[in-house]
Amino acid sequence: MNNVLLQEWKTPFQIAPFNSISDDDFTPALDEALARHKAEVAAITEQTEQPDFTNTIEALEATGYDLNRVLGVFFTMVGADSNPVREALQRNFSPKLAAHFSDISGNTALFQRILCVWSKRDDLNLTAEQSRILMLTHRGFVRSGAGLKDTSKNRMKAIKERLAELGTQFSQNLLADEQEWFIKLAKEDLAGLPSFVINAALAAGEEKNAGGPIINLSRSLIVPFLQFSTRRNLRKKAYNAWVKRGANTGKTDNRAIAAKILELRAEQADLLGYKSFAEYKLETEMAKTPKAVRDLLLSVWKPAKARAEADGAVLESMMQADGLTGSLEAWDWRFYSERRRKDLHELDEAKLKPYFQLNRMIEASFSCANRLFDLQFEPITLPLYHQDCRAWSVTRNGKHLAIFIADYFARGSKRSGAWCSAMRSQAKFPTIQTPIIINVCNFAKGDPTLLSYDDARTLFHEFGHALHQILSNVTYESVSGTSVARDFVELPSQLYEHWLTVPEVLKEFATHAETNQPMPPELLNNLLAATNYDMGFQTVEYVASAIIDLAFHDGEAPADPMALETEILKDIGMPHAIRMRHATPNFAHIFAGDGYASGYYSYMWSEMMDEDAFAAFEEANDAFDQDNATALEQNILSRGGSADAEDLYIAFRGHLPDVKALLKGRNLKF
C-alpha cells in the first residue's frame, strides 16, 4: 500500500517522517493496519500445530507492528498538536479500535490456545520473563471477558466501544473549553503581576490574536495569575472558569458523560463477576483492594486537613488585615499563600523564577541521569510534528539506547497537563528495537522560558518516566518500560523529582537568566526549607480527588456523580477554601480513559515508595551513590513489568515502606 505510514521509514533511527505525513493518510493506514493485525491473529488460530509458548504466546507478542506504528504517530499528534480534522478522526477511530481489540480478546479459538498453554505452564521450562508473559496474557484475556458466554461477550464488546466513544468525547470537550475561554487584560488588570507573568500573558494573547495580554486556562498561566494578581474580581472570574471546565451548559458539558461512563464501568465489572469496578481494577495493582486504598487515603486525610485548616486560618487573617470581609475563598488561597511564603521563607517567586531557566533545567535532568546511569544526550535534528519539539540521541559508552523527544510549550492545540509516551518501546523480540520516548509539558513560552519550581519538578517527573522507558532491558514489548502496575508506574517519576532538591544540582544549574550567576546560598537554603510549604493545601486537594475517584467506582454507579461528589466532600469536611484538584467534569485522569479510574490514589501509593527509595541514597550520604544507582536500574528501571512490582521493590530496597515514609516526606504528623 502506497501510504507513508505503512512504508519502511528510511529516516534517522526510523522515526516517523512527520514532514511527509498528512491527515488524509491516517484513515486508510489505520484500516490497512487493522486488517493486517486481524490476519496475523487469524494465522495463529488457524495453525494445526498443538499450542505452545512459541506458536501462540510469542506469536501473539509479534503481531500488530504496523498498527502500533500508525497509532503511535496518530495519538502523539492528536494529544499534542490537535486540529478539527484529527479530533474528528479520533472520534471515529476510538470505537473502531475498541471493537478491534474486543474481537481479539473475545476470539474463542485464540483463547482456547492460550488456555492450553496455560494448563501446561509448569512443564514448559520457561524463563521468568516468559512465565510472566504467559500469566499476563492469560489474565488479560480472562479480565477482558474471553470466558464469557456469547450474549455477555457481545454486551462487553458494546460497552467497550461506547466507553471509547465517551472517553474521547470527554477529553475533546475539555480541550474545547480550555481553547475557547480567555479574558483580555487591560493595563490596570496587570496590577501585581511580575514581568514573567505579563510576558506569558502577552505570548498567550499573541497566539489568540487578541491584541494584548490574556489569561487562559493553561495551568502554567492561570496559577501564577492567581498567585500574584491583586484584582480579586479577576482572580474569581478566572478561577471559576478553570474549575468549571467541562461543566458549562451546552455541547461541551461532561456531567452526563461522566455518569454514563460510571454506569457502563459498573456493568462491565458485573459481567466479569466483580462487586464493583474498583474491585475489578485494583485486583492487578499493588494495593489489591478498595479497602487498602481507602485506608491509605484516610490515614493521610486527617493530618493533611488539620494542617490545611491551620494554614487557612492564617491566610484568612491576612485577608481581613487587607480590609476584606467574609471568608477566605478558593481564588484567594494562592494569592495569600504566596505572600505568606515570601514572609516566612523570604521567597519571592519573581526573584526566584529567573534561576529556573528551562534550558538549564533540561541540562540538570540530563546531568543527573549521566551521573547516576552514565547516559549521554546528544542534540539531533529529526522531522518532528511541531517546530517546538526537540530531540536527543541517548547513548551509553557509545552504544545507542534511545531517542528522547521533548515538547515543552503550552499551545491551544495541546491538551492540558504533562505526560510521557512511547512512539516505540524497547524490545528484543521479534527483533531488537530501541525506544523513541516523548515528554510533553505545558510551560508558558518565553525568551528565555522561565519555570516555577513546580514546573521544574514536573520536568524532572516526566523525565523520570522517560528514564523508565530508556533504561528498559526486557525481551517482550508488552512488559517494557512503563508497562507496570498503575500504582508502581509513578515510582520512577516521583523518585527522580528528588534530584531537583539536591543542593549541588541547584548550585550548578539554577543560574540567573540575566547574570548567569548561581543562586545565592541564602536563597537556595530558603527554597529547600520551603519544599513542604503549603503541603496541607496540596495534599487535601489531591486526596479529595482520589477519595471521590474511589467512591465513584466502589459500589453501584451513582445516578448523579455531582451530587455524590458534594455529599462526600461534606462528609470528609473539605475545607471551604480548597477545591478538588480535579473536579468531576474535568477529571480527565479517570474519565478520558480508564487508566487511572479507581487509580488516582496511585501517585500517593508510589510516593510511599519514592520517599523510602531516596532514603537509600540519603543513608549512603551521596545522592549519586553508584551502588544504589546500579541497584535502582537493575531491579526497577530496567525490568519494566517483567516481574511483580512488589518483588521488584523488595529486590531494590529489601522491604516495603508504609505510610509513615509518605507522611515524613510531606512533613505531616503521623
CB atoms within 10 A of CB 411: 18
The residues annotated as belonging to the active site are 462
**What was the pLDDT predicted at 350?**
87
- C-alpha 266/C-alpha 276 separation (Å) is 6
**What was the pLDDT predicted at 670?**
58
**Domains of the chain: residue spans and CATH:** 12-175 (1.10.1370.40), 182-231 (no CATH), 255-347+535-600 (1.10.1370.10), 354-529 (1.10.1370.40)
**Cα-only R_g, the chain:** 25
Please provide the size of the chain in residues: 670
The pLDDT averaged over each successive group of 10 residues in the chain (670 residues) is 93 96 98 98 97 98 97 97 96 96 96 98 97 98 96 97 97 94 96 94 94 94 96 97 95 98 98 98 97 96 97 98 96 97 91 96 98 98 96 98 97 93 97 97 93 96 98 98 97 98 97 96 94 96 98 96 97 97 96 96 96 96 98 98 98 94 86
Q: What is the DSSP string of 25-59?
A: GHHHHHHHHHHHHHHHHHHHHH--SPP-IIIIIIH
CB-CB contact of 358 with 448 (8 Å): yes
Q: Of 483, 231, 449, nearest to 332 (Cα)?
A: 231
**What was the pLDDT predicted at 349?**
86
- C-alpha 379/C-alpha 439 separation (Å) is 15
**What was the pLDDT predicted at 1?**
75
Q: What is the DSSP string of 227-252?
A: HH---HHHHHHHHHHHHTTT-SSSTT
Stated pTM of the model: 0.95
Q: Collapsing DSSP states into helix, strand and coil, what is residue 365?
A: helix
